[in-house]
Amino acid sequence: MELYPAIDLRHGRCVRLYQGDFEKETVYGTDPIAVAERFVAAGARWLHVVDLDAARGDGNNADTVLTIARAVRARVQAGGGVRDDTLLRADVDRVVLGSLAVTNRAYARQLIAENPRRVAIGLDHRDGELQIRGWEEKGDVQLLEAVRWPEFAHAAAFIVTDIGLDGTLAGPDLDDLASVVEATEVDVIASGGVSSLSDVEALTSLEAGGRRLAGVIVGKALYEGNFTVEEAIAVCAACA
């Protein structure tokens, strides 16, 4: 299982939201490039970068996203407000489609076909119902329904975020994640709630339908110092 340290960008700063609430923001740094370089120096092979301003339709941090992608010796997975193929034509290794994938499945399928292994689908949900447009609108689609849409069959990964757990350090929802893993052949990356190395170990050990998770995104637990990138990578390797 791959570790994806998270860098959420808002107004050019590294932040974390509590349960996707833009009014409950904690700032963890004003130099996202330095944060990215620190994660990579600690051994991260991937970074997960989210443009929260773009996701909300309130400006963007595109220049910062691209600067990170060009500055680090790691692969960058970026999402948040993606509406076209701009990032795919730039230096980003993998682009995450969120609202676009739910509202325009045909275009999502086109991007997936034109960019093999470079397009992931972000499935952000509350209690199993997808949320879109910066988590502020209901997608009127159930998580397990979207996982089975044929347009997404060749995506590089599903990134499943339980918004109710995101930024809470309350632990991941293993049952929902197991249901997704069992329902698809696409790689599944877990996001939301990770608090401890025990959580990382539980995610690494999770198995359903003979398959396991492909990755885990960790944000607040790293910023709060609950554990280090090095420690999390060691757990992933030990449980593999």
Looking from the CA of 138 toward its CB, the CA atoms found within 13 Å total 7
Based on the residue annotation, tell me whether 173 is a catalytic residue of this protein.
no
Give the C-alpha separation, 62 to 74, whole Å.
Answer: 18
Choose, from 8, 173, 176, 199, the residue flagged as catalytic.
8
Based on the residue annotation, tell me whether 93 is a catalytic residue of this protein.
no
**What DSSP assignment string belongs to 82-135?**
--SSTTTTTT-SEEEESHHHHH-HHHHHHHHHHSTT-EEEEEEEETTEEEETTT
Please work out, in degrees rounded to the nearest 5, the angle formed at the alpha carbon of residue 186 by the alpha carbons of 180 and 191.
Answer: 55
Spatial CA neighbour of 155 closest among 216, 212, 98, 204? 98
Choose, from 51, 124, 173, 176, the residue flagged as catalytic.
124
Cβ neighbours for 153, distance < 8 A, ≥ 6 positions apart: 185, 186
- Beta bridge partner(s), residue 124: 161
Helix, strand, or coil here: 46?
A: strand
Q: Please identify every residue annotated as catalytic.
A: 8, 124
